[in-house]
């Protein structure tokens, strides 16, 4: 069965004023849709056509070489955006509680120190990519990837490794209409939208 564009978990304007309606319409309806369409095109008739998105991303090194580039870019794009939409929620944000708060405090000292590190990872990514909070060997780490790479692809491909529990898209298409070149402002606004209940689910599954 071909891969499908997931339905957004909230209305296009639900994340206003932090992420605007037009950005969400274009980001989900055009950018994410293009990743799905191009992934399906690349996979058609290939020996990995029946693999799940998780299998493709984790096993990117064993995808046939003639389609590995397109699967890396578009499969990564499909995985990353499907994950990202669920991380964002209206009436969310603020500081985490419970197990997530405990894990962040243990790894980074405080929520503020974690935020600074995560924002620095997003700002420091030259060009397009993602900032991530991952569980790697039972420990929380902040990493970033280029383009649509994902830590699940492993160090040899993505330059880092781990299971993402939080991520932020820092491609210009994610923020340019509202924030123009001010990626730092977009990263600050991101904290108003983080769905910590979703992060908690990912943390529990990753540990
Ligand atoms: Mn994007």
Please tell me the distance between residue 138's alpha carbon and the centre of ligand 1 in angstroms: 28
Residue ranges per domain, the chain? 21-87, 98-206
Please tell me the distance between residue 144's alpha carbon and the centre of ligand 1 in angstroms: 14
DSSP-derived pairing of the beta strands 129-136 and 139-146: antiparallel
Say if CB 122 and CB 171 are below 8 A apart: no
Please tell me the distance between residue 31's alpha carbon and the centre of ligand 1 in angstroms: 7
Percent helix, strand, coil in the chain, to 5, is 55, 10, 35
Query: Given the structure tokens 């944000």, which residue do they identify?
Result: 93
Pick the CATH number of 21-87 from 3.30.390.10, 1.10.287.990, 2.60.40.10, 3.40.190.10: 1.10.287.990
Tell me the per-residue pLDDT of 184-207, one tens digit each, with 9 for 90 and over. Answer: 999 999 999 999 999 999 999 998
Tell me the per-residue pLDDT of 97-110, one tens digit each, with 9 for 90 and over. Answer: 999 999 999 999 99
Topology of domain 98-206, per CATH? minor pseudopilin epsh fold (3.55.40)
Please tell me the distance between residue 115's alpha carbon and the centre of ligand 1 in angstroms: 21
Q: Say whether pTM exceeds 0.95.
A: yes
Please tell me the distance between residue 172's alpha carbon and the centre of ligand 1 in angstroms: 8
């Amino acid at each position: 069965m071909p891969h499908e564009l997931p339905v957004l978990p909230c209305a296009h304007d639900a994340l206003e004023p932090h992420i605007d309606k037009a950005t969400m319409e274009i980001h989900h309806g055009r950018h994410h849709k293009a990743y799905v369409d191009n992934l399906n095109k690349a996979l058609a008739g290939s020996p990995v056509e029946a693999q799940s998105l998780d299998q493709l991303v984790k096993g990117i090194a064993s995808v046939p070489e003639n389609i590995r580039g397109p699967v890396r870019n578009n499969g990564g794009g499909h995985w990353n955006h499907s994950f990202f939409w669920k991380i964002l929620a209206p009436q969310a944000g603020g500081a985490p509680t419970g197990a997530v708060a405990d894990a962040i405090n243990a790894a980074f000292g405080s929520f503020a120190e974690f935020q600074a590190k995560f924002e620095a990872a997003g700002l420091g990514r030259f060009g397009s990519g993602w900032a991530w909070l991952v569980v790697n060997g039972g420990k929380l780490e902040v990493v970033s990837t280029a383009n649509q790479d994902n830590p699940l692809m492993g160090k040899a491909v993505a330059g880092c490794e781990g299971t993402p529990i939080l991520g932020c898209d820092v491609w210009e298409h994610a923020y340019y209409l509202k924030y123009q070149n001010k990626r730092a402002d977009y990263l600050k606004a991101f904290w108003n939208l983080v769905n910590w209940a979703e992060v908690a689910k990912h943390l529990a599954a990753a540990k």
